[in-house]
């Protein structure tokens, strides 16, 4: 291929459709601080996602930090080592110790069967990740949380629009944090949101994301600046007009990958989760010992061909210098996470990936 093919590329609507939004922002001089587009996008997303309350953020990392603040989480939090670093970083920024637990190799999500053994008197919450948009064992995790009096905050960065057993996956847990980064299914350049159960919780979150201000002179809490601006909000409103088409195109690309790679010796795929209407956010493959190349050699081969696949997630968070000294980060504690990290390769998937480009990628995998 003449042009590089990246693992993802942001979906952008036609520029001419964005210009009227820009004109309204320009004319109003209302650039941020909960302007009209911000309010419209919150309402539109509540309706689209089927959630009771939602607070927009400038990015999902600030959303995670704020979600932990909103529920007053402290001590230790059980989480996964197989994720983007923001999951654990948000804990450390709140002076919370991450406690890493292994993943289920069938889903790459936190293994609910391993959680109870990691609970100590200092444990206050569980922070699972819906990895690649695949639902965690939400029922099993909630049972454990209820038994031990723990909060559950889902890092749902990958899970925009995912429905599980007929309802939004974002309804599970005490809070869910979703990402609108440019690499995600739905984007606002940067951005994110906290999905919450009621207006009281949303009010506290809204205070925290705006320095704690209740009005011009009243500060309710030591908040942060996490507000989404009007440019981001306007893009989000326009994106919603196209989101169903974008997800449909992603699903078509996923099915073509599955059909083309099924049964190939040395390439394993994650099976779709039952009762789930997913969003095809990522397409991970796992390279086995009987494939002609190991994962890293395949990665370099693809790069040399102009295909910029990514090793999501490698290295493990628990292997990074700031975390590897934790007792829970010991390699023998995380065998499935380590194996997935050493074998995974996410292939390009985005709405305007052409059939020609996809077939070129597939040929690179089959013709070794």
User: What fold is seen in the domain 15-240?
Assistant: 3.40.640
Sequence-distant (≥ 6) Cβ neighbours of residue 319 within 8 angstroms: 81, 329
Q: Do domains 15-240 and 243-366 have the same CATH topology?
A: no
Please list, in sequence order, all residues whose beta carbon lies within 8 angstroms of the beta carbon of residue 137, skipping any fewer than 6 positions away.
104, 109, 112
Please compute, for residue 156, the number of CA atoms within 13 A of its CA located in the half-sphere on the CB side: 32
Q: How far apart, in whole angstroms, are the C-alpha atoms of residue 188 and residue 23? A: 18
348 neighbors 250 (Cβ within 8 angstroms): no
pLDDT score, position 1: 65
Q: Where are the domains of the chain?
A: 15-240, 243-366
**Residue length of the chain:** 368
Nearest residue to 179 via CA among 351, 325, 8, 367? 8
The per-residue pLDDT for 2 is: 72
**What are 285's strand-pairing partners?**
269, 345
Write the DSSP symbol of residue 317. Answer: G
> Does domain 243-366 fall into CATH 3.30.70.100?
no
Q: Give dist(CA 51, CA 33) in Å, integer.
A: 23
> What are the pLDDT tens digits along the chain (368 aa)?
678 999 999 888 999 999 999 999 999 999 999 999 999 999 999 999 999 999 999 999 999 999 999 999 999 999 999 999 999 999 999 999 999 999 999 999 999 999 999 999 999 999 999 999 999 999 999 999 999 999 999 999 999 999 999 999 999 999 999 999 999 999 999 999 999 999 999 999 999 999 999 999 999 999 999 999 999 999 999 999 999 999 999 999 999 999 999 999 999 999 999 999 999 999 999 999 999 999 999 999 999 999 999 999 999 999 999 999 999 999 999 999 999 999 999 999 999 999 999 999 999 999 98
The token pair that represents 136 in the structure block: 């965690």
Q: Are 279 and 168 in contact (CB under 8 A)?
A: no
Neighbours of 128 (CB within 10 A): 29
Tell which residue, 141, 214, 212, 170, has the closest CA to residue 60: 170
Task: Give the whole-angstrom CA distance, residue 128 versus residue 77.
Answer: 10
Q: What's the burial of 17, exposed, middle or buried (CB within 10 Å: 0-12/13-18/19+)?
A: exposed
* Beta-carbon contacts of residue 15 (< 8 Å; ≥ 6 apart): none
For residue 246, the model assigns a pLDDT of 97
């Amino acid at each position: 291929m003449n042009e590089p093919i990246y693992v993802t590329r942001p979906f952008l609507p036609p520029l001419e459709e964005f210009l009227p939004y820009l004109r309204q922002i320009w004319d109003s001089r209302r650039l941020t601080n909960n302007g009209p587009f911000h309010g419209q996008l919150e309402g539109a997303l509540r309706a689209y996602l089927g959630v009771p309350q939602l607070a927009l953020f400038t990015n999902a990392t600030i959303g995670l930090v704020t979600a932990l603040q909103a529920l007053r989480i402290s001590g230790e939090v059980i989480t996964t080592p197989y994720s983007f670093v923001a999951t654990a970083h948000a804990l450390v920024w709140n002076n919370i110790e991450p406690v890493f637990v292994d993943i289920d190799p069938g889903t790459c999500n936190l293994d609910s069967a391993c959680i109870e053994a990691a609970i100590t008197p200092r444990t206050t919450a569980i922070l699972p990740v819906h990895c690649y948009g695949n639902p965690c064992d939400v029922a099993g995790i909630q049972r454990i949380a209820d038994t031990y009096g723990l909060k559950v905050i889902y890092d749902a960065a990958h899970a925009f629009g995912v429905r599980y057993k007929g309802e939004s996956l974002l309804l599970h847990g005490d809070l869910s944090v979703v990402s609108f980064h440019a690499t995600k299914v739905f984007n606002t350049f940067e951005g994110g949101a906290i999905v919450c159960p009621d207006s009281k919780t949303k009010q506290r979150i809204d205070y925290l994301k705006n320095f704690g201000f209740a009005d011009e002179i009243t500060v309710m809490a030591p908040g942060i600046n996490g507000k989404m601006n009007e440019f981001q909000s306007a893009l989000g409103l326009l994106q919603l007009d196209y989101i169903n088409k974008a997800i449909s195109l992603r699903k078509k690309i996923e099915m073509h990958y599955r059909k083309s790679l099924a049964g190939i010796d040395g390439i394993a795929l994650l099976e779709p989760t039952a009762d789930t209407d997913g969003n095809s956010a990522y397409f991970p493959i796992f390279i086995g010992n009987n494939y002609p190349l190991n994962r890293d050699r395949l990665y370099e081969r693809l790069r040399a061909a102009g295909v910029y696949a990514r090793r999501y997630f490698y290295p493990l968070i628990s292997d990074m210098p700031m975390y590897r000294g934790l007792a829970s980060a010991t390699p023998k504690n995380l065998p499935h996470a380590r194996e997935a990290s050493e074998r995974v390769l996410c292939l390009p998937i985005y709405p305007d990936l052409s059939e020609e480009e996809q077939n070129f990628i597939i040929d690179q995998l089959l013709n070794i």
